[in-house]
Each structure stands twice: as structure tokens, then as C-alpha cells.
Amino acid sequence: MALEEIRAAELDTEQFIAEKVAEIREAVGDGLAINALSGGVDSSVVTMLGHRALGDRLKTHFVENGLMRQGEPQKIVDSFAALRVRVEVADAKDKFFAALRGLTDPEEKREAITQTFYKDVFAQLVRESGARFLLQGTILTDVDETVAGIKRQHNVFEQLGIDPQETFGYGILEPLIQLRKDGVRKVGEAVGLPGELFRRIPFPGPALAARVIGEVTPEKVELVREATVIVEEELAVTGAFQYMAILHEDCVTGMREGQREFGQQIEVRCWDSMDARTATPTQVNWAILERLGQRLVSEVPGVVSVTYGIAPKPPSTMEVV
């Protein structure tokens, strides 16, 4: 069945929230549901909708997959504690790195993350909690790209003919599936999220694994995590839709203190976009790029090359994996 898009300009947020809250209550009945909060815009909005609908009968978890940004688990637990939402941290780092070991193909990496999330980590959380439903923040752009065969987004099932109940043993509710990012932000504001959460730049479900070309190891993720801190600090002033650091697979020849250093390359991407369907590289001021380059080569161990992505989407996509 084709999903009917609700465009941000036509979105009546109060009516949307009331409808989704009623639908969640109806589906879950007097049972329990769980959701995974990554701290991204979509899962933050779903958490607020779910708690409005179910109160404490929604169990919210932050899955520590080892692929998140610096300090993220504590930041999210604290931000939601201030909204009176309790978030449990589930440590699953080893499971994700084990599933990713030896994989270099982008779609195989995505599939490994999907299977680990849904078949392993969530399935266990569902079993332990007695919940029958998982609430998640799939949006229309995720569905489009998956169905078109461009990228298998980690959270899309029914549109691929996969029945989550049969495959994973629980139902999935997707209250945001008719929206795109601009619509989700409007709902986020209306549902009471603070600006620092609903205005946050998007962050993908596969997290920093989407930004490591080739095999994803804890060491490579740590390197891209350090680079991400710097990129996010330096590019926040641009107000761009999204910006990111990417770790390339090949090393290149560099030099430091007169010695040859065969080191890492970081690619920086910064995107202007409305809804992530198409995007163009932001015309970042040269002085900002220069400082960014300086910081990356001096503060991230082993980095000797920094490039800025200038290809538009399409034919590029925003993430590299």
C-alpha cells in the first residue's frame, strides 16, 4: 500500500499528535511497548508521542551499540530525565562489533546492524519486558530509499514484504511514517521537545558505522567519533541541514615533523537540504574550512589528509555507506 505523504506545510501538528496518540493507545491496549531512543530527531519525537499515549507503559531504551557520538548515552539520559522520561541504557557494544567484523560491503554492514538491532537486542528487550510492540521513528525518506533499492535503511520492513511479528516476534508501530524530516521537527516542537533536540542535525540509525568506509572496528569508530566532535563544533555556525566526518579506507602519504607518515584521510561533508531527498554541498566559508582542516590533522591522531565533499545528491548520497 502506498503511503500518503503529509507535507510539513500542510501538517496540523495538534491534530497529528492527537491522532497518533489515539492510534498508539488503540494498538497497545493495556499492554506494554518499548522503544529505542538514539537521541536523533525521529526517535526523540516518537518517545514523546509514546509517553503521551502510554506513560510508564512505554519502556524507553538507549541501545549503546558502540557506534554513537561522544558522550551520547549520558546526554540523552539527562535530556529526557528533564522531560520526566526514564531512559534505560542497554549495553550491546560487543554484539554490534562482532556482527560487523570482517564486513566491508555497505549493504552487508547495514544488514548486520539491522539484524543485531531487531533479532538480537530488541528481541531480548521485548522478551524481558513482556512488551508486544516496538515503537520506532521510521520516516518516509527511509522507506523511499529502501524501496528504490538505494540504501537499505536499518528500520524498514513491511515495505520490503517482511512481517516483523513473524520475523522478530513483535509488532512495530511507526507513527511518523508519513512525514519527512521537516514535518518531524514541527511535531517535535509541538510535543514539547526542547530546541536542542528537535533542531538537532539528523543522525543515521547505523550511526558512525555509516561513516566508516570498509570494515568497522572499535578503533576506526573512535577515530571518526573524535573527528565528528570537531566537525560538529566547527560547522554548527553554518546552520546546514547536516554535517559529518567520514573515515576513508585507504591511507595516504603525509609528513609530520619531517618524517613520512602513511596516515588516515577524513572527508568532511556538509549538506544543504530541505528533506534529505536531494542535497547540495554547503558553500562553507574558507576560513572555517581551513580551521577545521587544521584541527582535524592536529587533534585526531593519525589523520594526514582532509577533503571536502563537493558532489551533490544525487548522484551522491549524504552518508557514504
Q: How far apart are CA 74 and CA 254, in angstroms?
A: 37
Encoded one letter per residue, x for contact with ligand XMP by CB under 6 A and - for no contact, window 248-287 reads ----------------------------x-----------
Q: How far apart are CA 65 and CA 94, in angstroms?
A: 8
Choose which of 44, 60, 79, 153 interacts with ligand XMP (CB under 6 A): 153
Map grid coordinates 540523552 to a residue.
76
Choose which of 206, 263, 281, 293 interacts with ligand XMP (CB under 6 A): 206
Q: Which stretch binds ligand XMP (CB under 6 A): 17-25, 29-37, 73-81, 203-211?
A: 203-211
Cα 244–chain centre separation: 12
Choose which of 142, 226, 234, 275 interacts with ligand XMP (CB under 6 A): 142
| Residue 185 found at the interface with ligand XMP (CB under 6 A) | no
Cα 258–chain centre separation: 40
Q: Which stretch binds ligand XMP (CB under 6 A): 81-89, 139-147, 192-200, 212-220?
A: 139-147
| Residue 151 found at the interface with ligand XMP (CB under 6 A) | yes
Choose which of 234, 267, 275, 319 interacts with ligand XMP (CB under 6 A): 319
Inter-axis angle of helices 181-190 and 41-54, nearest 10: 40
Q: Is 38 or 304 the residue whose CB approaches ligand XMP more closely?
A: 38
Residues 6 or more apart whose Cβ sits within 8 Å of residue 147: 156, 159, 160
Choose which of 202, 263, 281, 293 interacts with ligand XMP (CB under 6 A): 202
**What's 236's DSSP letter?**
G
Q: How far apart are CA 321 and CA 319, in angstroms?
A: 6
